[in-house]
Structure 1
Amino acid sequence: MGEYTKLETVKLEGIYQFCDQFDSQRLELSSDATTVITDFTRRVPQVVLKDVDIDHALYMMVNGHVRSKMVIDHDDTFLGVINSKDLTGRKVLSIAQQRNQARSDLTVEDLMTRKADLHAMPYAMVQLAKIGDVLETLKDLGHQHVLLVDNEGVLRGMISASDIARALHIPVNILQKAHSFKDIFSIIHEHQEMTA
């Protein structure tokens, strides 16, 4: 740590206003979708190994100030995505009960959304899209995020509903879609827990 220097700070007495935004446009639903991309060519993706226990994974997310991570195996192969809701919701107890395991024995792999259940958009398509187009896609899918793939078929990035909400300063509510009776049951229980 000796190569870095502590920077000086100043007191905020007498400071009451924000700067004008001359050099940046306010983001809107009609802004280019590329403004809300987490681009893996500029930012290393947040990853977690598949065999990390759920409490440790949640600790990593909270301390890393992220809501989701890409799940990999020990060969760095992409397996799926895990988010903080997966690690704290009813799904945890349900899976532990189904497997007759203690909650503390569950791993990221037990709760992640598998690659086969995820959706992706071509990066080139997103370059031509607006934020509103991506938001409409997320709502239609019933997913909190969508992955981006480039022409070579590798993961190029991700766009999440929470990133859009943060960038536009608006609430974004993506309703999970049910594809089976089991999904309907899970969604109803999650909704009941949130409103209780």
Structure 2
Amino acid sequence: MTTLSLLACNEISKIEWPNQASEISLHSKATDIATDFKINRPLVIDSNTKAVEAEYLMKKAHVKLKLVLDKADNFIGTLSFNDLNDQEIIKKAAIGVDRSELIVTDFMRMKATLKSIDWSALEHISIKTLVHFLKDRTEQHILITDEKGNTLRGLISASDIARRLQLDVNLNLPINFKLISQAITKGIED
């Protein structure tokens, strides 16, 4: 049996960091920038969650997107922090809906309105090709499906691309794929 003991920390000066490929470039594979749900647990929220609670939880966790699940844990849409901002809640309340009665489904984007990309296609293209393909899209996230197209495999976040490529964009503002494309084009011209 292993014996545990407490150690003094006064000699510690470094922190161990994940050994991930931090060197991402426009020529890296598009899957290198993806959040793979086979590796990272997806961020989900119940469709009946109160909107003010969802907003609070997302703000507290610094989360910009959650996948919305119904009572049977089936994917039914997405909820972004921007969809749920306080102004949208005030708009609904202004037309007579009790603020405390608003729920996630009042703000979410239904899956029928969303677009996705197939994971296997991403395995064969670069981040540059992906950004070029999405250059006119104003979404902040793009969903990724498995090869059969019936299971969410992951997602790609425009802000993750900006952060990892160290693009000259204000990460405090909503970042979309169109903005990413413009920043890359501007960076090439400079």
Same fold (TM > 0.5): yes
Q: Is 1:104 paired with 2:66?
A: no
In the alignment, which residue of structure 2 is the partner of 1:53?
50
**Counterpart among 23, 40, 43 of residue 43 in structure 1:** 40
CA distance, structure 2, for counterparts of residue 8 and residue 49 of structure 1? 44
Matched position secondary structure for 1:62: helix
Structure 1 stretches of at least 4 aligned residues deviating more than 6 Å after TM superposition: 4-8
Contact 2:131 2:177 (8 Å CA) reproduced: no
Contact 1:71 1:80 (8 Å CA) reproduced: yes
CA distance, structure 1, for counterparts of residue 143 and residue 38 of structure 2? 14
**Given the two structures, how large is their TM-score scaled by the length of structure 1?**
0.72
In the alignment, which residue of structure 1 is the partner of 2:176?
174
Deviation of the 1:102 alpha carbon: 2.5
Q: How does 1:157-172 map to 2 (within 5 A)?
A: 157-170=154-167, 171=169
Contact 2:134 2:177 (8 Å CA) reproduced: no
Deviation of the 1:9 alpha carbon: 4.7
Q: How does 1:111-150 map to 2 (within 5 A)?
A: 111-150=107-146
Q: Which moved more, 1:138-147 or 1:108-117?
A: 138-147
Q: Could you say which structure has the higher helix fraction?
A: 1
Matched position secondary structure for 1:71: strand
Deviation of the 1:65 alpha carbon: 3.1
Deviation of the 1:89 alpha carbon: 5.1
Deviation of the 1:81 alpha carbon: 0.5
How many residues of Structure 1 are paired with residues of Structure 2 in the alignment? 167
Cα 1:65/1:25, change in 2 over 3 Å: closer
Matched position secondary structure for 2:139: coil
Contact 2:22 2:164 (8 Å CA) reproduced: no
Percent identity (aligned): 32
Contact 1:148 1:155 (8 Å CA) reproduced: yes
Cα 1:59/1:7, change in 2 over 3 Å: farther
Q: Which amino acid aligns with 1:55?
A: V
**Given the two structures, how large is their TM-score scaled by the length of structure 2?**
0.74
Matched position secondary structure for 2:67: strand
Matched position secondary structure for 2:59: helix
Matched position secondary structure for 2:71: coil
Q: Which amino acid aligns with 1:174?
A: N
Cα 1:128/1:53, change in 2 over 3 Å: same
**Counterpart among 19, 27, 31 of residue 30 in structure 1:** 27
**Counterpart among 74, 77, 84 of residue 87 in structure 1:** 84
Gaps of 5+ in 1: 16-22, 177-196
Matched position secondary structure for 1:148: strand
Q: Which moved more, 1:163-172 or 1:143-152?
A: 163-172
Matched position secondary structure for 1:86: coil
